[in-house]
């Protein structure tokens, strides 16, 4: 009887750029390709996927230069297939294959559930392009989570796309209109993740608090709070206008919901907020923070800021500095305005780049001072840490506190996946040191 010769698994290399949702998408894309195992070396791969981000200027150029670096690998291995996925794939489409013929497939974030068929097509020597916003829900066509042990913290997409159309942002064009996944599917995926060792999920959405998949986000969080084995819940990224009273109340009545909230505001100037089409004022944002802190006084606030937005004056910038000083952020991400093709702001007169750089440095200096002062205020306090991996030093474990601080636990007895009580002993620039109590 002839022996069945099993094909060795092919190797898949995925390079992920950008946001947490791209990290999640890369995981789902890897899981959707039967017969592949992942490799962390491009020169060892049979398929290379670049999962791209389009949020900042030159994003597309970065992808083309990366493709230029990968092209020679195809000369060494003619069976190698190269694909571009994510938001640059969505924005550029066929242009990618025109500019770089070494690319075999291009697929957008809304249609990567068709990757298996596209892979079969390119294995026949054809190319494949798909940047549709398909009617069907891609999650219905993606297989369940792969049966493998996982890290204790995982991302879980619950909503995609955005209807806000902020004047600087490409997301509504690359990710499309807001779509919420059915709550029962999300709860099942969370249960699948818990069965594989996950103890914490971060619910993802470009506008996550606009979630409406048969439940509101607050109701979904409470439902997930009843999943056995799931210890901690977070969510990101929120818009101030969708922080309703019930979601704020969930921060008080759902113990598994962590006291950390990422709530971008972008500017402290009402004039600029208007020109950004953010549909709220600095005052309403500050009132909202007060209402959130009223129900959860220890909540760690995180924000996003853009400096040098078209026509921003020194007075506008000062309003941003004043807002940051008032909120006192544990974390804040700040960037110089970046022209995005096709967005309303890209047509407007730009701020002098030197001026914008100088403002960014002043803002980042303020944010670092705030962040470090909050880190220092943790010394002597008791925290709860989800242990994620072994630390560099012997007997040291590394994890995240409920406030999302990185915590090094010395002389740890806790194992990966445990949630332990610790006392903070020291604050460093970006992390804390602690001992178990």
Partners of residue 16 on adjacent β-strands: 51
Q: Do residues 397 and 414 lie in contact, with contact meaning Cβ atoms separated by under 8 Å?
A: yes
Q: Minimum CB separation from ligand SF4 for residue 178, in Å?
A: 9
DSSP string, 308-377: S-TT--HHHHHHHHHHHHHH--SEEEEEE----TTSGGGGSPPPPHHHHHHHHHHHHHHHHHHHHHHHHT
What are the distances in angstroms from CA 153 to CA 97, 101, 361?
36, 38, 33
CB nearer to ligand SF4: give 175 or 400.
Answer: 175
Q: Kindly give, in sequence order, each residue whose CB lies less than 8 Å from that of residue 411, ignoring residues fewer than 6 positions away.
A: 395, 396, 435, 436
Q: Minimum CB separation from ligand SF4 for residue 239, in Å?
A: 5
CB nearer to ligand SF4: give 87 or 162.
Answer: 162
CB nearer to ligand SF4: give 145 or 278.
Answer: 278
- For 318, counting Cβ atoms within 10 Å of its Cβ (0-12 exposed, 13-18 middle, 19+ buried), the class is middle
Residues that bind ligand SF4 (CB under 6 A): 162, 164-166, 169, 171-172, 206-207, 239
CB nearer to ligand SF4: give 166 or 299.
Answer: 166
Q: Minimum CB separation from ligand SF4 for residue 278, in Å?
A: 7
Q: Kindly give, in sequence order, each residue whose CB lies less than 8 Å from that of residue 315, ignoring residues fewer than 6 positions away.
A: 269
CB nearer to ligand SF4: give 44 or 163.
Answer: 163
**Pick from 200, 207, 204: which is nearest to 156 by CA?**
204
Measured on CA atoms in the order 261, 290, 251, 401, is the torsion positive or negative? positive
Q: Minimum CB separation from ligand SF4 for residue 163, in Å?
A: 8
Backbone φ and ψ for 210, nearest 5 degrees, come out as: -95, 10
CB nearer to ligand SF4: give 239 or 400.
Answer: 239
Measured on CA atoms in the order 263, 269, 274, 277, is the torsion positive or negative? negative
Q: Minimum CB separation from ligand SF4 for residue 207, in Å?
A: 5
Q: Which helix (H) or strand (E) holds 432?
A: strand 431-436
**Pick from 66, 119, 130: which is nearest to 94 by CA?**
130
Question: DSSP letter at 421?
Answer: E
CB nearer to ligand SF4: give 166 or 250.
Answer: 166
Q: Minimum CB separation from ligand SF4 for residue 345, in Å?
A: 11
CB nearer to ligand SF4: give 32 or 269.
Answer: 269
Q: Minimum CB separation from ligand SF4 for residue 162, in Å?
A: 3
CB nearer to ligand SF4: give 333 or 372.
Answer: 333
Q: Minimum CB separation from ligand SF4 for residue 168, in Å?
A: 7
Q: Minimum CB separation from ligand SF4 for residue 225, in Å?
A: 26
Partners of residue 234 on adjacent β-strands: 202
Partners of residue 266 on adjacent β-strands: 305
**Pick from 355, 423, 357, 418: which is nearest to 390 by CA?**
418
CB nearer to ligand SF4: give 32 or 174.
Answer: 174
Q: Kindly give, in sequence order, each residue whose CB lies less than 8 Å from that of residue 135, ignoring residues fewer than 6 positions away.
A: none
Q: For residue 237, is the peptide bond before it cis, meaning its omega torsion is within 30 degrees of 0?
A: yes
Q: Minimum CB separation from ligand SF4 for residue 146, in Å?
A: 29
């Amino acid at each position: 009887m002839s022996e069945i010769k099993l094909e060795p698994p092919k190797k898949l290399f995925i390079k992920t750029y950008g946001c947490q949702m791209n990290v999640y998408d890369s995981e789902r894309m890897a899981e959707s390709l039967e017969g592949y195992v992942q490799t962390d070396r491009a020169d060892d791969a049979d398929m290379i996927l670049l999962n791209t981000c389009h949020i900042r200027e030159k994003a597309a150029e970065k992808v083309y230069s990366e493709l230029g670096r990968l092209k020679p690998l195809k000369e060494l291995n003619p069976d190698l297939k190269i694909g571009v996925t994510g938001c640059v794939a969505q924005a550029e489409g066929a242009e990618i294959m025109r500019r770089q013929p070494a690319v075999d497939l291009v697929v957008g974030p809304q249609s990567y559930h068709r990757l298996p068929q596209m892979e079969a097509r390119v294995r026949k020597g054809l190319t494949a392009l798909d940047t549709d916003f398909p009617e069907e829900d891609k999650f219905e066509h993606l297989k369940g989570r792969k049966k493998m042990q996982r890290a204790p913290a995982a991302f879980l997409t619950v909503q995609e796309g955005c209807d806000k159309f902020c004047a600087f942002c490409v997301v509504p064009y690359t990710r499309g209109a807001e779509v919420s996944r059915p709550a029962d599917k999300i709860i099942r995926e969370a249960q699948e993740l818990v069965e594989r060792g996950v103890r914490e999920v971060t619910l993802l959405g470009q506008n996550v608090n606009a979630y409406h998949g048969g439940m509101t986000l607050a109701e979904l969080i409470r439902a997930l709070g009843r999943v056995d084995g799931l210890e901690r819940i977070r969510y990101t990224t929120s818009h101030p206008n969708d922080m309703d009273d019930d979601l704020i109340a969930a921060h008080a009545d759902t113990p598994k919901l962590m006291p950390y909230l990422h709530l971008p505001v972008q500017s402290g100037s009402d004039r600029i907020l208007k020109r950004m089409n953010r549909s709220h004022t600095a005052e309403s944002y500050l009132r909202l923070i007060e209402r959130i802190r009223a129900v959860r006084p220890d909540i760690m606030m995180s924000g996003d800021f853009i400096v040098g937005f078209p026509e921003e004056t020194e007075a506008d910038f000062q309003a941003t500095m004043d807002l940051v000083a008032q909120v006192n952020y544990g974390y804040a991400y700040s960037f110089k305005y970046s022209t995005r093709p096709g967005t309303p702001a890209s047509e407007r007169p730009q701020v002098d780049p030197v001026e914008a750089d100088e403002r960014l440095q002043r803002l980042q200096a303020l944010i670092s001072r705030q962040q470090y002062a909050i880190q220092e205020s943790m010394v002597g306090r008791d925290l709860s840490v989800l242990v994620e991996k072994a630390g560099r030093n012997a007997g040291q474990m590394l994890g995240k506190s409920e406030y999302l601080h990185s915590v090094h636990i010395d002389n740890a007895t806790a194992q990966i996946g445990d949630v332990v009580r610790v006392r903070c002993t020291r604050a460093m620039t970006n992390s804390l040191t602690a001992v178990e109590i």
